[in-house]
Amino acid sequence: MTREAKPAQVLRHPALGRAELAALLTGMAPANTRAWCMAGRPDRPHFDRFEPAQAETILTNWPEGRVFSAGFELRWRHRRDSFDALLLVDEAPIPPPDGFRRLGEGWQAVAPGTQACFHAWGSTASAGQPALRLESRLPALPAYPPDCVAGRLHCLYYVDPSGATRLVRLCGVV
């Protein structure tokens, strides 16, 4: 069985400022876009719809995370006084945003299958609360966003020119 592949790009910025990263998040996922934010720190996980007006607050509260939608995923990790950012895009090739550089050429985004999804964490706490998840490795009960009723995440495999899957990009919720 052959899986459909489409061209993809992997872009990185090693030292992006908070304001620049917030502007990029807001520009890539404006208010009318269905996008989600998944972030975490040792004391608690965070997973909810991404609201552009909250971009600065998200970056202040969550030193590591990702915002994803059907067309992109932007990951960040705070490092001293800047952010290391990785941008995964599988729509039409885009010129890299200022300061980003391509990490190689020839990437392909491949859907793992129409039913391929995974749970970010945990198992359903109860039939009456499908968004509440139980996970023994996390210190707080994680919750999925309201539009993620089944608690599953869609993903794409990012395959390099050798055919090896190197990255998994989140692209939606179920």
Q: What is the pLDDT of residues 61-83, one digit of tens each?
A: 999 999 999 999 999 999 999 99
pLDDT at 139: 54
Q: Give tens-digit pLDDT for 6-34.
A: 999 999 999 999 999 999 999 999 988 89
Q: Which residue has the tokens 């509260």?
A: 61
Mean pLDDT of 86-110: 88
| pTM, two decimal places | 0.84
The rounded distance, in Å, linking the Cα atoms of 22 and 54 is 9
pLDDT above 50 for 155: yes
Length of the chain: 174
Quote the pLDDT of residue 100: 95
Per-state percent for the chain, helix, strand, coil, to nearest 5: 10, 45, 40
For position 1, what pLDDT does the model report?
39
